[in-house]
Amino acid sequence: MAATRVAECLVNGVPTSAVSARDRGLAYGDGLFETILVRGGKPTLAEWHFQRLALGVQALRLPVDLAVIRSEVEQQALLLGDGLFKLIITRGESLRGYAMPQQPQVTRILQSSPLPSYPAQHAEQGIRLYPCATRLGDQPMLAGLKHLNRLEQVLARSEWQDSVHAEGLVCNLAGDPIEGTMSNLFMRLDDRWVTPALDRCGVRGVMRGFLIEQLAAQGDAVEERSISFDELLRSTEVFCCNSVFGVWPVVALADWQWPVGVHTRDIQTLAKQVLM
């Protein structure tokens, strides 16, 4: 008997890549997504991904069965082995207009892809951040959510095309550092870790959440608060993180430079343990 292969795309559990042109995810970005690294047939950081998804569906009032979604992800992960899943949840189809349908039929999409290939030097030697001009607008009702409206990130990422910069720094309207285009930021200030508060904009990454929890358990609690650009510049260590590449030390932003510090190396070890 031939081995069962993972479907490249499932829509509501059916192997297909076709989605209705009336889907609200396409029309309005009305939905959420998670990018999940799969290793050895298991979704990594699964608890953190599904916790964030649960908060998102509650905030957007999406009637989904999270147990069904999790079961599908876990079953498909066994078939995938190693790779990436992009899980997309939309409010489904509706007629013209912004009003939510009274009884939405949610669309569930699960796309698989091979593992991405990042240069080893990003983790070993650190990366340069590009200073993005694109700003994140304030919207406390959506802050932290991994919703489908990613145009700010698309515009920010379009600002550089060179291979010198691996990530970009994105600030809020006041010019305070918030995150990268695809990652969260941590800074070492006054011998403690701080990370920008994400109560008005930005995405609460699952690696960010994992590291905050692990560091607190080790007695090195992370302070979440507004951070000025000047504080970023006077920090002694900086790194960015996400749930796919783990932790990259930041060594430069324009004319400013930082070393790859011992505290960042310790955190890289934490991240590797959960992603490998």
The question of whether 42 is a catalytic residue gets the answer: no
What are the distances in angstroms from CA 104 to CA 59, 86, 99, 111?
15, 22, 11, 22
Which amino acid is it at 274? V
CA distance 104 to 175: 39
Q: From the candidates 146, 167, 237, 264, give the one annotated as an active-site residue.
A: 146
| Cβ atoms of 252 and 233 closer than 8 Å | no
The question of whether 35 is a catalytic residue gets the answer: yes
Give pairs for 256-264: CB < 8 Å, separation 24+: 258/126, 260/125, 260/126, 261/188, 261/236, 261/237, 263/188, 263/193, 263/237, 264/188, 264/237, 264/239
Q: From the candidates 34, 167, 179, 237, give the one annotated as an active-site residue.
A: 179
The question of whether 146 is a catalytic residue gets the answer: yes
Radius of gyration of the chain (CA): 19
Q: From the candidates 35, 90, 107, 195, give the one annotated as an active-site residue.
A: 35
Greatest Cα pair distance in the chain: 63
Residues annotated as catalytic are 35, 146, 179
